[in-house]
Amino acid sequence: MGADYTNVSEAPGDRATREQLSMLYTRYHTAFQFSAGKDVLEVGCGAGHGLGYLARTAHRVVGGDYTENLLRCAQRYYQGRVPLVRLDAHHLPFQDASFDTVILFEAIYYLAAPDKFLDECHRILRPNGVLLICSANKDWSGFSPSALSTRYFSVRELHTLLSGKAFRAELFGAFPVAATSNWGRLVLLIRAVAVSLHLIPRTMRGKELLKRVFYGLLAEIKPEIEDGMAELAPLVPIPRDSATSTYKVIFAIARAE
């Protein structure tokens, strides 16, 4: 049995900051724009927060994850409304040209061989199909890697990976790092020190306790994304060869060539 990603994944009932909820909402609002009338696969769907939201307009949505605990959580909520599959991202159990859109949000850094995942995406995507990737930006000062991660990508590295596998990609940044208040600047400084000293908790539950100290009241993560649940962050185009530390999150919108 491989790694269990339960403790590093967002789950219904977890408490989150406003920014964390905004990140969650922004990811799936972005995917929503590529889902209407489409066959959509989310790899690394976790507890399935975005599946029902996408299914409102998609022709078909399938959720897949490696961790059984997370799939069971999604199954309890959706009760068969959305197909769910246990899978390995390196060997996707689908026929050639069976999806229009493939989503991988906050999970590429867990893959042992992301190049194999991209080969699989090429295989299962139809002509003009779209691959959506979202990942933490390793170049910002407060970046802290997940306990089970293998490798994070910079903007330049992610573009190189995608173009090397014949994907034409546009890169975007979201959630600027700059703080607008003295307290915000202090929190960023404390976070940077904590990261350098390896003091950031390794589980979502441990991070939640730390967030209560610095951000105060937290809101509960619901089982399914809802319109207007949080502030929607704009995606800002980034040059593919940049090494930006300005944004906390990077997005790639890639089309198979």
Q: What is the pLDDT of residue 244?
A: 86
Higher pLDDT pick, 214 / 177: 177
| Model confidence at 69: pLDDT above 80 | yes
What band does 200 get if pLDDT is binned at 50, 70 and 90? Answer: low
pTM for the structure as a whole: 0.88
Q: How many angstroms separate the CA atoms of 112 and 193, rounded?
A: 29
The pLDDT value recorded for residue 141 is 81
CA 191 – CA 210 distance, rounded (Å): 10
What pLDDT shows up at residue 222?
A: 96
pLDDT band for 213, please (50, 70, 90 cuts).
very low
Residue 199 has pLDDT above 70, yes or no: no
Please determine, for residue 184, whether its predicted confidence score (pLDDT) is greater than 60. Answer: no
Does residue 197 have a pLDDT over 60? Answer: no
Round to whole Å and give the CA distance between 186 and 188: 5
The domain ranges of the chain are 6-177+217-256
Asked if residue 9 lies in contact with residue 46, where contact means CB atoms within 8 angstroms, the answer is: yes
CATH of 6-177+217-256, one of 3.90.245.10, 3.40.190.170, 3.40.50.150, 3.20.20.140: 3.40.50.150
